[in-house]
Amino acid sequence: MPSPAVSPAAGLHGSEPQGLPPGVAGDGDPAIRAVVRAALAAPVPMWVGWGADLTGFGNAAFEALLARQVRPGSPASEVWRDLGEGLLTQIGAASAGEGRIATVHLGPRRGRAILSAGPVLDEAGRPCGVLCTLVPQDLGNGPVQNATDAPRREMLSRKAWLADLGDVLGALDDSDAIAEAAAARLGPHLGVLRCGFARADATGEVLTVTRDWTAGVASAVGAHRLDAFGPWIATSLRRGEAAAVADANGDPRIGPRERAAHAELGVRAHVAAPVLRARTLAAVLFVHSASPRVWSEAEVELIRDVAERTCAAMEASRALRALRSNEALTRDILEISDDCIKLLDLDGRLRFMSTGGQRVMQVDDFSLLEGRYWPDIWPDDAKPQVEAALAHAREGRLGRFREEARTVRGTPRFWDVVVSPIVGDDGRPARLLAISRDITAQRQAEESLRESEGRFRAMADSAPVMIWTSDADGRCTYVNRIWQEFTGSHLSQAMDRNVLMAIHPDDRPRTEAIVTAARAARRPFQTEYRLARADGSYAWVIDTASPRLAPDGAYLGDVGSVLDISERRRAEEKQALLVNELNHRVKNTLAVVQSLAIQSFRLGQVDPTVRNAFEARLLSLARAHDVLTQESWEGAQLCDIARRAVQPFAGGPDRIALEGRGVWLPPQMALAVAMALHELATNAAKYGALSISGGQVDLSWTVADLPQGRRLRLSWVERNGPPVPPPARRGFGSRLIQQGLAAELGGEVVIDYLSTGVMCRVDAPLPTEDAG
């Protein structure tokens, strides 16, 4: 160990066997003079130095060991210059207060000595000089006076060597470099073939050597099974016991297979020192000798000591690197974070503020704030909350508040503040941590949201329809005044219960299915149902809703409006009744016309063919009336009109093909198209493609959006039919198609008689808006 610090109070003012030597009495501190007196009487070699240049004095044993005279008052640079590189640095460090141990090489005749250097302290406990003690380690070829016994010299030599090793390992910060340096020191010190560290795997069965030191032989780097060198060695190492082999060839514990493993590495003798962590083998320090060698207890103990010290240094290096990484991460967080992070003492005074905190607080010089009472930085009306939060933290609890305060430059900010205790070693709060987050933007957004919600509620309460909102889970969050008055439920009641319960039981399953499907798909919906009034009666309403989305697209719920359509439903029911009555009367009228025609045709004055054609046209007109009646005589879809008109002539699923988009026709146009298609189908059945097997008709239509308006393009094309020559005269059907249809539609009708059948093209304007 290094020499302890020496002070006059340690008893060095005792008897004075002789006067102080020249150069000491008048120059030194009282503590120095006391140490010099003690050195004069000491039997071991001592040297005392003091002052800026370490002016020194060596006793008689010191001069005898160096075999030269040391003049009192000589500087350290003169006394120690020939005794080893770096000794002046060690002695200088000791004079500054750090104890040091080093090896001194005295020359071939005097061998080595252990230098133990420690500071001399004055009465105030401050270093004022250095005391160096030399302990000879071997006698070399000449006598050494006042030498200690051999065991003590060996102990001191080992301590000095381990101290030097500690200095070397302490200067490294890489675990592999530490292991390599330890092996490089221990191998030459023991004079062995190879030395290195092996790490054990999780099972403790495989040792891996990544680096080792060798005396010019092959390296043992690689993976090795622990039991390959002998089961008893593996057992000893797992128990934490060192394994020493003096001669692998002659050791009865080593079998032929294990002896071959030793020979493969060129090893006759070795020592393996284990390192256990959590009672599990973690690493092994191995020392190999190429020749038989009996290992002393001191050597085995040194190897064990080096193994533990080296592994401890490696672990400390890894921990230090992790700590540095954590410190760097903490610095980055403190610098990047926009939270104002502060450390306060228990009195509430500022001691630290993070870099990011100084930025957000607009602090240019923290020293102007350091030490200030933190509540004084806040406005007067906020101080009670600040001091209450501090009090909670001092009691070991969490303090929190929200208040407005200005930055150092006067910028108003709103802060969310949390104050928490930092617990000391005694388990009680030692300091306080305050984290202030700037929530000005959030506060402004909340105020804007409240204003927006206020405007929405005012507008919704003034609206003539019922308005509601729901959250993402479908729970009602708001209903306006009209809804509350209509249903007789207050807002809290609507929010507490499922609003679907106010729907008529017969309509509820259908409505719930529509709402659930729309919510899952995040799409609008519209449905009609009966809603309970305040008086218990039900009214028909139409509910129209759309999803509410956040700026980032997240689904927030729905907003909907409910309109009372009871009057409209009654009007529609009345209209339906009237339309049905009208249809009934029209059918009766058509039936009367048909009856009159039949009675008239029985007189024999009319050809039966004419009578049949008339009846067919009358039935076609009736079918068109049926389609219009289904739509309340507001119009009809072209596809429905076409299907009804040609259905009696189809004769099979593939004879007449219909193709076209949905086109809504007004009543007059629908009737004209129905009559024209009836005539085309009748002629095709008599003379054209539908008159023979295999003949087909393609009925198609398109809508052209032109600058002058929308136009209907309808085409009737017969295929695989007999040739149809142009008629010699135009009958009623031809005139109905070419003249009547063109006049009714306000468009153009063209009929061509081709070899495969008739082709008719219709081009007519459509209403501006397509109701279908």
Q: Per-residue b/e over 603-629, b at no fewer than 16 CB within 10 Å?
A: eeeeeeeeeebbebbeebbbbbbebbb
Task: Give the Cα-Cα-Cα angle 361, 364, 369 (nearest 5 degrees).
Answer: 70
In the block, tokens 């439903």 appear at: 569
Distance between CA 161 and CA 152 in Å, rounded?
14
Report pLDDT digits (tens) over 177-196.
999 999 999 998 889 999 99
- The pLDDT value recorded for residue 54 is 87
- The pLDDT value recorded for residue 101 is 80
Secondary-structure breakdown of the chain: helix, strand, coil percentages, each rounded to the nearest 5: 40, 25, 30
Tokens representing residue 275 in the block = 């390192």
Task: Give the Cα-Cα-Cα angle 29, 30, 31 (nearest 5 degrees).
Answer: 90
Distance between CA 651 and CA 654 in Å, rounded?
9
The 3-state secondary structure of 528-587 reads: EEEEECCCCCEEEEEEEEEEEECCCCCEEEEEEEEEECHHHHHHHHHHHHHHHHHHHHHH
For 689, how many CA atoms within 13 A lie in the half-sphere containing its CB?
Answer: 25
Distance between CA 172 and CA 167 in Å, rounded?
9
Q: Which domains does the chain possess?
A: 8-166 (3.30.450.20), 172-320 (3.30.450.40), 337-438 (3.30.450.20), 444-564 (3.30.450.20), 571-765 (3.30.565.10)
- The pLDDT value recorded for residue 643 is 84
SS3 at position 761:
strand
SS3 at position 683:
helix
- The pLDDT value recorded for residue 168 is 85
Q: Are the C-beta atoms of 563 and 482 separated by less than 8 Å? A: no
Task: Give the Cα-Cα-Cα angle 687, 591, 730 (nearest 5 degrees).
Answer: 30
Q: Are the C-beta atoms of 242 and 300 separated by less than 8 Å? A: yes
- Please state whether beta strands 656-659 and 696-706 pair in parallel, antiparallel, or not at all (unpaired): parallel
Distance between CA 411 and CA 409 in Å, rounded?
6
Q: In sequence order, which residues have a C-beta less than 8 Å from that of residue 684 and are 6 or more positions away?
A: 649, 690, 691, 695, 697, 718, 721, 757, 758
- The pLDDT value recorded for residue 383 is 93
Distance between CA 576 and CA 619 in Å, rounded?
23
Q: Are the C-beta atoms of 48 and 59 separated by less than 8 Å? A: no
In the block, tokens 């340096």 appear at: 181
Tokens representing residue 520 in the block = 């899952």
Nearest to 141 by CA among 113, 107, 115: 107
Q: Are the C-beta atoms of 549 and 504 separated by less than 8 Å? A: no
- The pLDDT value recorded for residue 618 is 59
Residues with pLDDT less than 70, the chain: 1-28, 84-85, 108-110, 138-154, 156, 323, 325-330, 332-334, 494-499, 575-634, 728-736, 738-740, 769-772
Burial of 79 from C-beta contacts in 10 A (0-12 / 13-18 / 19+): buried
Nearest to 765 by CA among 708, 717, 701: 708
